[in-house]
Amino acid sequence: MMLQEKNAIVTGAGSGIGRAIAIAFAREGAHVIVSDITEESGIETVQMIEQATPGARAAFVRADASKPEDHEALVLSAVARFGPLHIAVNNAGIGGELNPVGDLSVAGWKAVIDVNLSGVFYAMHAQIPHLLTAGGGSIVNIASILGQVGTAGAAGYVAAKHGVVGLTRAAALDYASQGVRINAVGPAYIDTPLLEALPQEARDALVTLHPIGRLGRAEEVAELVVWLSSDRASFATGAYYPLDGAYLAQ
């Protein structure tokens, strides 16, 4: 197993990509702290882990990604429960308000930046000292294809995800010589509960954006994150890895 006896935190693990990552981590032998703002969905993820991988060690800790004190408490809880921190996946995020820049509310801008960008900084700020204490480890920040290109009506989200990519690169340079690897993953449109609420015609339109001819699956993102978090990716740091069905190749 690729993550045998590693201790990991996954934020936003109550559904979608975060849930798939948490389940894959447990399958590969990691002890997983499942974090989410919604207790019910986070506990459900823990139950799914226990069903999929009998004997796996997993626990839920509630945290609001926009609050630095929640990240500090999350890391302390993880270390108290499982021991030294080896892996963190900063996946928690929101879609945010969709409006042209001139119509985007200040509150809408702040909400998406607070979670999607500042939340990643707060997370790494809390996690990195513990990774250093453990002798090194891996952080994977979940960005987006919109961390490389734009789309109309989503200025806050696009700005935040571009920021996540830049923050990842800067942090990787800060800690490359100290055994902490930091990378970003950029999924395209993934078939998660968030998209299930869309009308069929809207889903069909999203499919056409991907030359591969379909939406991505959360489990496919999880496989890349597992590799980046493992010792098999020991020379991988400071990089952005798209997983996009050739979206960015166009």
Contact present, 244 and 210 (Cβ < 8 Å)? yes
Q: What is the b/e burial string over 27-46, where b = at least 16 CB atoms within 10 angstroms of the residue's CB?
A: bbbbbbbbbbbeeebbbbbb
Taking the C-alpha atoms of residue 59 and residue 198, their distance in angstroms, rounded to an integer, is 32
Taking the C-alpha atoms of residue 137 and residue 37, their distance in angstroms, rounded to an integer, is 25
Amino acid at 61: V
Taking the C-alpha atoms of residue 4 and residue 230, their distance in angstroms, rounded to an integer, is 9
Whether 157 sits among the annotated catalytic residues: the reply is: yes
Contact present, 94 and 143 (Cβ < 8 Å)? no
Taking the C-alpha atoms of residue 229 and residue 91, their distance in angstroms, rounded to an integer, is 14
Identified catalytic residue from 157, 175, 189, 247: 157
Q: What is the b/e burial string over 214-242, where b = at least 16 CB atoms within 10 angstroms of the residue's CB?
A: ebbebeebbebbbebbbeebeebbbbbbb
Contact present, 139 and 131 (Cβ < 8 Å)? yes
Of 237, 4, 9, 242, the closest CA to residue 122 belongs to 9
List active site positions.
157
